Amino acid sequence: MTQKSKTSYAALKRSVYREYSRSYDEDRGQFVSGAALMQRIDWALETLRPGGSLLDLGCGTGQLLRQAADRTQGKGLLAGLDLTPHMLRLARAELGCGVNLLEGNAATGLPFKEKSFDVVTSLNLVQELPADAVPSLFDAVYRLLRPGGVFRAVVPCMAEKNQAAEMFRRMAQIRGQMDFRYADELEESLLGVPGFVEKCTEFCPSTAATNAAKSNVRFKLFAGILNDIKNEGLDPNQVQQGVIFFSGRRGADD
């Protein structure tokens, strides 16, 4: 990324999520059910043990970190990184001083020491990054993991290819700098990430796009896109999304 593109990317993201922060937890619970969200968080934290260290990338309001604090019993190093000051203010109010929260752009680097964390998590971040920043993010995560450490990422994607889905992808990129790749392409890319061992992926359907059109949410980005799709004579119900669960481990002898 050039310096100019880095600046414009960060400005757009902060603008989008400044609006989203006003209703983030409430709207997120309508896009994805509370049960589905907790399933994702539980999966992401599966390998975290009492006293373990964790970094959550794109931590938002700190929902995952709240669960991590319970699991580590207040004995581990917990850190969160987010680009949006508004999100971090909400997280600090909820989490207090027991978690290290930093404002930063994951697309340009991760400001932590190498081999600092047993677990790195990322729920709904990878699709937010410019495509050319994703490989460097995975490289950085690998360096931050201790030997045997695990990276768990949940990445929203498109479930089916059709004209409405392609318009949704294009509009999400233009209006929110969000790169929703098709599931098969995303899985192939994630499994090809270098360095990690024991790599695996799993696709699960998601109701996010459907619920964005049906629910009375305050965050209107997705609802606006779906409405424009309808106005173009396409069927917004054909916009079907999913998520890819990615897990990879740093080698124990690395």
Domains of the chain as residue ranges with CATH: 3-156+181-205+245-249 (3.40.50.150)
Instruction: Give one DSSP letter per residue of 47-99, joined into a string.
Output: T--TT--EEEET-TTSHHHHHHHHHHTT-S-EEEEES-HHHHHHHHHHHGGGS
Q: In this structure, what token pair is assigned to residue 208? A: 């996010």
Q: Which residues contact 249 (CB under 8 A, 6 or more apart)?
A: 148, 149, 150, 151, 196, 197, 198
Q: pLDDT (tens digit, 9 = 90+) per residue, 102-159?
A: 999 999 999 999 999 999 999 999 999 999 999 999 999 999 999 999 999 999 999 9
87 touches 113 (CB < 8 A):
no
Q: How far apart are CA 251 and CA 83, in angstroms?
A: 30
Helices (H), the chain: 3-21, 24-31, 34-44, 63-72, 85-95, 134-144, 163-176, 183-191, 208-214, 221-231
Q: pLDDT (tens digit, 9 = 90+) per residue, 34-69?
A: 788 899 999 999 999 999 999 999 999 999 999 999
Cα angle at 31 between 27 and 32, to 5 degrees?
115
Task: Find the length of the chain.
Answer: 254
Q: How far apart are CA 54 and CA 144, in angstroms?
A: 10
pTM above 0.75, yes or no: yes
pLDDT surpassing 90 at residue 98: no
- Compute φ and ψ for 229, nearest 5 degrees: -60, -45
205: helix, strand or coil: strand
Mean per-residue pLDDT of the chain: 90
